[in-house]
């Protein structure tokens, strides 16, 4: 039994939900998102402002798709009403970021600045030189862009330098000097 798939989704005020040939279209104050339902074994219906998903069989694949589609549509509703945001922090001496037009210029220890190009439907903010805020209405796209920026220079375990998520904990390792004095 899919516990996630069986939870009903209440549609808040100001959100318009349309169902057109296997596609659920969610419109809100921040924009519009579409989710295509490719499996005919997943059913969905709107009753009195509540969207309910159901499935036609109890196969393992159908159960997983049941929860997946419910989560995707719920994420779209939150995205068009509130939006999503990921904050990245640059740690290390000389590590900084700046907006250059629509792109982000990142200095993170390489011999050249790294330019991260603007992605459609994603906004960048640089409130200070050590912080990058990635925001948008599509949860998966915001997360992917933030992960791509982090992948430019992931945090290393010895000094903690690099680009990390704001709430990320980097487990630190002892260096060679600490090992040499302990083994002596």
Q: Which residue has the tokens 């009903």?
A: 8
89 bridge partner residues: 131, 164
Question: Which positions of the chain have pLDDT values less than 50?
Answer: 1
Domain boundary among 65, 81, 97: 81
CA distance 146 to 86: 7
Q: Each residue of 70-101: pLDDT tens digit?
A: 999 999 999 999 999 999 999 999 999 999 99
> Residue 88 sits in which domain range?
84-165
Which tokens go with 134?
A: 């990635």
The reply to whether 172 falls in a domain is no
Q: With beta carbons less than 8 A apart as the criterion, state whether 166 and 87 touch.
A: yes
Q: What is the DSSP string of 124-142?
A: EE-SSTTEEEEEES-HHHH
Q: What mean pLDDT value characterizes the chain?
A: 91
Residues 69 and 89 in one domain: no
pLDDT for residue 44: 86
Domain identity same for 39 and 10 = yes
In this prediction, residue 27 carries a pLDDT of 95
Nearest to 116 by CA among 155, 147, 79: 147
Domain's final residue, options 81, 106, 133: 81
Residue 39 has a pLDDT of 83
Q: What is the pLDDT of residue 129?
A: 94
pLDDT of 96 reads 95
Which is nearest to 139 in space by CA: 156, 162, 116, 122? Answer: 122
- Please answer whether residues 105 and 113 qualify as being in contact, where contact means their C-beta atoms are separated by less than 8 angstroms: yes
- Residue 178 Cα distances to 139, 156, 160, 175, angstroms: 42, 17, 16, 6
How many independent structural domains does the chain possess? 2
Strand order in the sheet with 23-28: 16-20, 23-28, 31-36
Q: What is the CATH number of the domain that holds 127?
A: 3.90.930.12
Contact status, residue 19 vs residue 43, Cβ threshold 8 Å = no
The answer to whether residue 170 is domain-embedded is: no
At residue 151, φ and ψ (nearest 5 deg) are -70, -15
Residue 183: the pLDDT is: 61
Q: What is the pLDDT of residue 2?
A: 57
Same domain, 90 and 157: yes
């Amino acid at each position: 039994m899919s516990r996630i798939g069986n939870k009903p989704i209440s549609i808040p005020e100001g959100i318009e939900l349309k169902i057109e040939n296997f596609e659920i279209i969610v419109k809100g104050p921040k924009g519009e998102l579409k989710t295509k339902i490719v499996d005919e074994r997943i059913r969905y219906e709107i009753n009195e402002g509540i969207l309910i998903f159901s499935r036609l069989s109890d196969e393992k694949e159908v159960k997983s798709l049941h929860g997946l589609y419910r989560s995707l549509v719920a994420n779209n509703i939150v995205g068009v009403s509130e939006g999503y945001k990921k904050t990245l922090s640059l740690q290390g001496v000389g590590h900084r970021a700046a907006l250059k037009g629509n792109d982000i210029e990142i200095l993170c220890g390489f011999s050249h600045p790294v330019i991260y190009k603007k992605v459609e439907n994603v906004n960048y903010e640089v409130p200070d030189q050590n912080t990058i805020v990635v925001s948008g209405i599509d949860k998966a796209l915001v997360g992917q862009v933030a992960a791509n920026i982090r992948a430019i220079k992931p945090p290393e375990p010895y000094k903690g330098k690099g680009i990390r998520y704001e709430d990320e904990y980097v487990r630190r390792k002892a260096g060679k000097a600490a090992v040499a004095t302990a083994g002596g």
